Amino acid sequence: MPPTFSNIIVWRHAEAELAENDSRESDLARALSTRGQRQAKRMAHWLKQYLPKDTLLLCSPAVRCVQTAEALNYKITLDHTLNPSAKLKEILDVMVSLESTPQNLLLVGHQPWLGQLVTHLTGFSGAELNIKKGAIWWLRQSLNQTYQYNVISVQAPSFLAK
């Protein structure tokens, strides 16, 4: 069964430092760059104005995702399934399995699964969406179709005032 939330906001981690080697551990340990820290703060400032109070923030355990989410100064729930190599089905399973389904969900994570999730929930066809670093896509459940979502906002740090 697909997830049913009033709002699903996906937030790709902001720009991170380059990996020193190709190991999974070093990838998860990559921190935000100075630019990435500014991106996260800018997007968090925008989100604070609009984010519903009853939102569950579910975050990848990767350092760059945690640092992005921390800019929001909000309760963070880590989920190890939301790792950089996660598959869309795994993400959907996590969303469906939430014990007490919140009205609103904010996911902080990675490409390509964030783009795949938006494509899946909105019914976009064709090319996979590429969500830019630090950007959010805000989806709202359709009033006409229970498992269909509409895009109500797309924001990138570069769109926002400094």
Q: In the chain, pLDDT over 70 holds for what percent of residues?
A: 92
- Predicted TM-score (pTM) of this structure: 0.92
User: What's residue 87's pLDDT?
Assistant: 97
List, in order, residues 6 or more apart from 4 with CB less than 8 Å away. 101, 141, 146, 147
pLDDT in tens, 103-150: 899 999 999 999 999 999 998 877 779 999 999 999 999 888 767 899
Show the domains of the chain with their CATH numbers. 7-159 (3.40.50.1240)
Long-range (24+ apart) CB contacts under 8 A made by 73-76 are 73/44, 73/48, 76/108
- Whether omega for the bond prior to residue 84 falls within 30 degrees of 0, making it cis, is no
pLDDT digits (tens, 9 = 90+) for 29-41: 999 999 999 999 9
Torsions phi, psi of 151, nearest 5?
A: -80, 120
What does the pLDDT average to over 11-21?
88
